Amino acid sequence: MTTANPVFIPGPTNIPEVLRKAYDMPTLDHRSPAFAEILHPVLAGVKRVLKTEAGEVIVFPATGTGGWEASIANTLSKGDRVLAGRNGMFSHRWIDLCERFGLDVEVIEHRWGEGLDAARYEAALRADTGHAIKAVLATHNETATGVVSDIAAIRKALDAAGHPALLMVDGVSSIGSMDFRMDEWGVDLAVTGSQKGFMLPPGLAIVGVSPKARKAMEGADLPRAFYDFRDMMGAYANSGYPYTPAVGLMNGLRVACDMLLAEGLDAVFARHARIAGGVRAAVEAWGLKLCAETRAVQSDTVSAVRMPDGIDANAFVARAAQTYGVAFGTGLGEVAGKVFRIGHLGMLTDVQALAGLSAAEMVMSDLGVNFAPGSGVAAAQAHYRATVEGAALGLAAE
Ligand SMILES: *Cc1c(COP(=O)(O)O)cnc(C)c1O
């Protein structure tokens, strides 16, 4: 498949040239003082992106999944109860990981397309008068369904119930693209990776750790070695790693943080909202429905589009790849074959988004979908033209 086209998968995302140059570097001794000049700006930069002053940042050579594992393995003990909402494949996988660690997971089932319901979290927390629940898990942006959930509301649910559990948030497909406020929302563990909002290749698990999570670490007895926060924190104090860090990616992350912060986080979020608005306008013009049930939960980083009955969404994704060299995301789990996903996070311009929507229209025509060809592209063009004035094109200028 050609690599000339941008990808429209919700991670890994398109890589800006400036980042490609930043991680393509000669070998640097990670035990030399030169590494400190990468490490410390990374930790400081990620803290700003997470909006935390109280928290610490730890970066593992891993992926988002490693971040999930690190969060639970460092703070929980065998048999601990955790409360988790499930509304798609990613929240499901985190639950599965917890179960494999012998945790007792109380699952709040949601429809795939629904946002996490803070009221149901609160009811479960209030019912837990003995405080058996040690951690509450929430997926900020469910990448399988294109659904964003209100993490501030989950925090309020914990507070309203007077419950001391840790709040662990998967922000893998939101952090760096949609507003995320670790301190304000009282997030104890914030998990992300390098290959989504940070616009880098996969290879880093990035975890924000609150002071409360650090305290929980002392009594936790789940096995951990590679992901031991204590080893990392000890090594960071000496500007190093307990093992070999992914030096090139760390340098990429340093520059990625600089880029996001130079554009301004608010401008980055506004840019994502604009691009997403055009995609949503296109989907509406096609007469198709998003998997996300209401406007309030529609994600600014990924749209899962329901195919009409009788049209296989996997055939859509395969045709786009094979015929036009364009990557869209497949449906996962419960919505496999029913939705295709358009990733619109990281580096993406209006023009690139229009190209993706245009390719999607060609594929829909090929598959015999009943829609007006050109209608989605026109709707997105109208949205971008109407909102471009004064909008920070930011990364587009790179
Ligand atoms: C991509 C993603 C992950 C992590 O996946 P990895 O492949 O391990 O990086 C976790 N959660 C969400 C919501 C994601 O989008």
- The CA–CA distances, whole Å, from 280 to 276, 351, 360 equal 6, 15, 13
- The CA–CA distances, whole Å, from 265 to 147, 302, 390, 397 equal 21, 18, 16, 16
| The pLDDT of residue 396 | 46
**Is residue 299 within 6 Å of ligand 1 at its C-beta?**
no
CA of 111 to the centre of ligand 1 (A): 20
Decide: pTM greater than 0.95.
yes
Nearest CA to ligand 1 atom 12: 172
CATH top-level class of 265-397: alpha beta
Q: State the DSSP string of 101-170.
A: TT-EEEEEE--BTBPP-HHHHHHHHHH-TT--EEEEEEESEETTTTEE--HHHHHHHHHHTT---EEEEE
**Is residue 170 within 6 Å of ligand 1 at its C-beta?**
yes
Determine the atom of ligand 1 nearest the C-alpha atom of 140.
Answer: 13
**Is residue 301 within 6 Å of ligand 1 at its C-beta?**
no
Spell out, as residue ranges, where the chain has pLDDT lower than 70. 390-398
CA distance 30 to 247: 7
Q: Which CATH number fits domain 17-262: 3.40.640.10, 3.90.1150.10, 3.30.70.920, 2.60.40.10?
A: 3.40.640.10
Every domain of the chain and the residues it spans: 17-262, 265-397
**Same fold flag, 17-262 and 265-397:** no
> What is the DSSP secondary structure assignment for residue 6, as one 8-state letter?
P
| The pLDDT of residue 390 | 60
- Tens digit of pLDDT for each residue in 59-102? 999 999 999 999 999 999 999 999 999 999 999 999 999 999 99
